[in-house]
Amino acid sequence: MFRRFENLVDPFQPFPARTPPATLWAYLKSQYGPFRKWLAAMAVTGVVVALIEAGLIFYSGRVIDLMSVTPAAEFWSAHGVELLLAAAFILLLRPLAITLNHLLLDQTLASNMQDQVRWRAHKHLLGQSSGFFQNDFAGRLTNRVMQMGPAVEDSTYMAFEGVWYSATYVLGALIVLGETDIRLAIPLVIWLALYILYTRSVALRVASASEKTSDARSMVTGRVVDAYANIESVKLFAGENREERYVLSAMRRHRLRFQRFLRLMTELSLSLTVLNGLLIIGVLGPALWLWTAGTVTVGEVAAASALTIRLNGMSGWISWVTIRLFEHSGVIREGLRSIAHAHTVTDRPAAPALRVTDGRIRFRGVVHHYGRGHGGLDGIDLTFEPGQRVGLVGRSGAGKSSLVNLLLRFGDPEQGEILIDGQRIRDVTQDSLRRQIGMVTQDSSLLHRSVRANILYGNPGATEAQMLAAARRAEADAFIRELADSGGRTGYDAHVGERGVKLSGGQRQRIAIARVILKDAPILVLDEATSALDSEVEAAIQDTLYGVMEGKTVIAIAHRLSTIARMDRIVVLDQGRVVEDGAHDALLAQGGLYAGLWARQSGGFLGTEAAE
């Protein structure tokens, strides 16, 4: 039975790939789509349960009146059938209605809504460009995704379990008191109006305070995670005290905002106590007066008393629910600051997959200044022929990384176009484009998974033998077999730690190279691919990489010019333009920028002195 209700909604079902709405109600509506018909069922069962509860109090008053007017000896013979039917209702139908209501609320709603919200938010963020993540804390983004799920789920749950149920219960109480004597319903109406007005005024302040508190909490999480993720730099530069102060300032801000939020809670508690006192006196006083006047019965006074005491207890809970709803609304709005952002790089509708036949890459009139009007690339016309190995050289800021990032479509150029085998990369899917490009970066980070999983990331369908062969070609097999982690896993099953921190830079680089070897893409991009390796391993890897390059179009970025001297062609960039283009010997003979860099470097790295 539980599984049947749990599976009424699949939180991971496909959904339209569009930017989440930036406003609270529109966002909630977008999440309610798969739950729509079940929300209606929750509303109906909630009304039934609330009316049953109010009806029980009314019926208890009737029982008291029956006891007052019927002699004890005749009570069961006169009313036994009625009481047995009431007992059957209480033992059978009431539990059935309550259970059905909770099956819908707990199993259908609560068990699915959190994961749906988190899954959709995570999936949308994964589609953002690299620049999006470079402009925010990973910890803050994570915190917002994780908080959104409980906030949406709890808000919806409490709207039905709290607000909807309570509104129906109050309506039932008004009907009971009105049927008894209309004068008993008037104090409840006045109290309800005051209660709603006051709770709403506090709730609006709570929503604002909650959004600020949530933002402060996300900042604390972001700064803490930032310190943990860069713990080696923190230790290397003796930065523990600085990190303590950095996080402490965020924690102090969070404490102040949380204290302001709690002040509202204390104020609310005091005010509700006064309002509830007015309710008790306002209903019970007139009820007793009407009884003394002979207008109402003892049972009706008892029913009015029970309803009032129950409302007195419920009012605090209703206010807490209402405040939580507005608190959650603040959390959701804070989360939407990150989640409700349109993707800056998108696939065109029905975009085809890239088909690489030769591997010819062409940059045609490419201009990209990152919206600043300067820097980046300035009018690049460049063609990489199929199977050609091209070295890309230039001082820092010359535009080398910009060119590669645009080729991978981490962003779109402001002007011009990039083509692969005659297909504009804007017109094909991003996944198909990146599947055709293998890349090794200078700082290759790994996933916190096993070595095997990291290598297979390049080609999940590869066999164990193919994976092992790639590791051996990357000179990685020997050290991998000696690895062990704290979980007792060894060799290829050992986990490498977050971003691969448990490995040396050279070991991470060799696993990254093995991953690209296994990917076997027709286009290969190397960004200082061997810079983290010692000389002996680098020599072996260089020979391996030249073997991997066979038949591929290769772009190799290098500051150490000796690593690209054997390339078919070298392109020199300066201030976003191509200033030299040719083979190593031809460029030396020209005596231009490349020759000057080569002379100054003497086999070392391209340093700042080259720019002087």
- DSSP string spanning 469-484? HHHHHTT-HHHHTT-B
In the structure encoding, which two tokens stand for residue 271, read together?
């005010």
Say whether both 526 and 591 belong to one domain: yes
Largest CA distance in the chain: 124
Interatomic CA distance for residues 394 and 611, integer angstroms:
10
Domain-located, residue 347: no
Specify whether the CB–CB gap between 365 and 436 falls below 8 A: no
Say whether both 424 and 457 belong to one domain: no
Domain-located, residue 14: no
Question: At CB < 8 A and 24+ separation, what contacts does 601-608 make?
Answer: 601/560, 601/561, 603/560, 603/562, 604/560, 605/559, 605/560, 606/393, 606/395, 606/559, 606/560, 606/561, 608/396
Q: Which of 470, 495, 514 represents a domain boundary (last residue)?
A: 514
Band (pLDDT 50/70/90 cuts) for residue 384 is very high
Say whether both 139 and 249 belong to one domain: yes
Say whether both 294 and 412 belong to one domain: no
> Is residue 137 over pLDDT 80?
no
Average pLDDT, the chain: 84
Say whether both 486 and 560 belong to one domain: no
Band (pLDDT 50/70/90 cuts) for residue 607 is very low
> Is residue 567 over pLDDT 80?
yes
> Is residue 378 over pLDDT 90?
no
Interatomic CA distance for residues 324 and 156, integer angstroms:
11
> Mind listing the pLDDT tens digit for each residue in 19-58?
899 888 899 999 999 998 899 999 889 888 888 877 787 7
Say whether both 296 and 377 belong to one domain: no
Residue, of 163 and 45, whose pLDDT is higher: 45
> Is residue 311 over pLDDT 80?
no
Specify whether the CB–CB gap between 219 and 205 falls below 8 A: no
Interatomic CA distance for residues 403 and 406, integer angstroms:
5
**Domain around 227:** 27-339
Interatomic CA distance for residues 276 and 319, integer angstroms:
12
**Nearest 10 degrees: Cα torsion 149, 153, 155, 156:** 150
- CATH code at 556? 3.40.50.300
Interatomic CA distance for residues 275 and 270, integer angstroms:
9
- CATH code at 89? 1.20.1560.10
Q: Which of 289, 304, 339 represents a domain boundary (last residue)?
A: 339
Amino acid 406: pLDDT: 92
Residue, of 92 and 203, whose pLDDT is higher: 92
Say whether both 91 and 155 belong to one domain: yes
- Label residue 425 exposed, middle or buried (CB < 10 Å: 0-12, 13-18, 19+): buried
Element (H, E) at 572: strand 569-574
> Count of domains in the chain?
3
Interatomic CA distance for residues 226 and 498, integer angstroms:
12
Interatomic CA distance for residues 184 and 186, integer angstroms:
6
Domain-located, residue 393: yes
Amino acid 554: pLDDT: 92
Interatomic CA distance for residues 273 and 265, integer angstroms:
12
> Mind listing the pLDDT tens digit for each residue in 573-606?
998 899 999 999 999 998 888 888 888 775 444 4
Say whether both 222 and 242 belong to one domain: yes
From the list 210, 203, 207, 9, the residue with the least C-alpha distance to 114 is 9
Band (pLDDT 50/70/90 cuts) for residue 176 is confident
Band (pLDDT 50/70/90 cuts) for residue 531 is low
Interatomic CA distance for residues 222 and 378, integer angstroms:
36
Interatomic CA distance for residues 303 and 289, integer angstroms:
15
Band (pLDDT 50/70/90 cuts) for residue 555 is very high
Band (pLDDT 50/70/90 cuts) for residue 127 is confident
Within 10 angstroms of residue 273's Cβ, the number of other Cβ atoms is 12
Say whether both 396 and 261 belong to one domain: no
Amino acid 112: pLDDT: 92
Say whether both 172 and 274 belong to one domain: yes
Domain-located, residue 20: no
> Mind listing the pLDDT tens digit for each residue in 420-468?
999 999 999 999 999 999 988 877 778 888 999 999 999 999 999 999 9
Interatomic CA distance for residues 62 and 568, integer angstroms:
99
β-partners of residue 187 are none
Say whether both 47 and 156 belong to one domain: yes
Interatomic CA distance for residues 201 and 343, integer angstroms:
37
> Is residue 145 over pLDDT 50?
yes
Specify whether the CB–CB gap between 203 and 322 falls below 8 A: yes
Domain-located, residue 235: yes
Domain-located, residue 244: yes
Ranking 300-314, 343-357, 491-505 by mean pLDDT, the lowest is: 300-314
Domain-located, residue 344: no
Cite the beta strand spans of 356-414 per DSSP E. Answer: 361-368, 377-384, 389-393
Amino acid 603: pLDDT: 47
Domain-located, residue 356: no
Band (pLDDT 50/70/90 cuts) for residue 611 is very low
Residue, of 472 and 295, whose pLDDT is higher: 472
Q: Which of 514, 539, 571 represents a domain boundary (last residue)?
A: 514
Say whether both 406 and 381 belong to one domain: yes
Band (pLDDT 50/70/90 cuts) for residue 530 is low
Residues 6+ apart with CB under 8 A from 11: 34, 112, 113, 115, 116, 119
- Listed ranges 15-24, 189-198, 237-246, 517-526; the one with the highest mean pLDDT: 517-526
